Amino acid sequence: MLRGYAVLQRFSHRSYFTRQYPMTDSQSEEKPVRPSVRSVLKSLVPLMLAALFMVAGILVLVYLGRDQARLMNAPLGDLDLVPLVDASPLPPLQEMQGQVLVLHFWGTWGSSSKADFYEYATLYGAYKNQPGVKFLTVSCSPGVEDNLDKLRDDTVQFMHNSEARVSNYADPAMYTRGRIAKMLSSGGFQYPMTLIVDQKGIVREFWLGSDSGTMSQVHEAIKKILAEKSSQVNSADKSRDK
């Protein structure tokens, strides 16, 4: 009897102590909280977006790589360009072989074309009087070339405002652009576009769109092709001397 009373008293004292002095978090056992499905999905959103951007970037590189594979080292073919502003009639492409040709397609209506044109004009001026290099600047309308007078006026106005001194041609029937477009996977044409054709009429480099470092790359590519030609001439001279 006395023993049962003691146990009852001890239990009552413990219950009273717990009510008066509850256990802290460190003393109690926490039950793990399971995250909700919504919170898990919310935490995965940044990772999913990053993965999508990465995949998109890879697809763009693959796409551009296909264009590069089809256009690089391909013969340019005939040109159908007519003088537009301060330009002289062009001889057939066969007669221009032996020169490095730089073709630049642009439009006064495109913001990227205009932003890129200032650097292009500087490069054009640097090579303007250099033998063995010829720049062919092609001013283009956003659509079908059905009004060369307007294209000429817009080009002249842009040249005047920018104080650029660049000769311009037109591609009136879009024949030249059409041939290049067929060599691209997209079958379309993007402005601005710059191509370098070597002395044999082969496309060696090309650039789509506008980038702050494009014209520096064009300059380096021209120097590389000219150096190759110089090396070939020197080798031929040495062979004759033997």
> Using one digit for the tens of pLDDT, what is the confidence trace for 206-230?
999 878 889 999 999 999 999 997 7
CA-to-CA dists, residue 120 to 20, 127, 210, 231, angstroms: 84, 11, 11, 27
Query: How many independent structural domains does the chain possess?
Result: 1
**Enclosing domain of residue 108:** 75-237
Distance from C-alpha of 170 to C-alpha of 147, rounded to nearest angstrom? 11
Between strands 193-197 and 203-208, the pairing is antiparallel
Q: Does residue 35 lie in a domain region?
A: no
Question: Does residue 46 have a cis bond before it (omega within 30 degrees)?
Answer: no
**Residue at 30 is within a domain:** no
Could you tell me if residue 10 is inside a domain? no
Give dist(CA 48, CA 43) in Å, integer. 10
Least confident segment among 2-11, 41-50, 101-110, 171-180: 2-11
Examine residue 38 and state whether it is found in any structural domain, yes or no.
Answer: no
Tell whether 12 is covered by a domain: no
3-state DSSP of the chain: CHHHHHHHHHHHHHHHHHHHCCCCCCCCCCCCCCCCHHHHHHHHHHHHHHHHHHHHHHHHHHHHHHHHHHHCCCECCCCCCEEEECCCCCCCHHHHCCCEEEEEEECCCCHHHHHHHHHHHHHHHHHCCCCCEEEEEEECCCCCCCCHHHHHHHHHHHHHHHCCCCCEEECCCCHHHHHHHHCCCCCCCCCCEEEEECCCCEEEEEEECCCCCHHHHHHHHHHHHHHHHHHHHHHHHHHHHC
Lookup: tokens for 152: 């000429």
| pLDDT of 30 | 54
- What does the pLDDT read at residue 18? 47
CATH number for the domain that contains residue 97 = 3.40.30.10
**Greater confidence, 55 or 49?**
49
Instruction: State the angle between helix axes of 111-127 and 214-241 in degrees (0 to 180), rounded to the nearest 10.
Output: 30
Say if 199 falls within a structural domain.
yes
Average pLDDT, the chain: 80
Enter the pTM of the model. Answer: 0.69
pLDDT digits (tens, 9 = 90+) for 119-163: 999 999 999 999 999 999 999 999 889 999 999 999 999 999 999
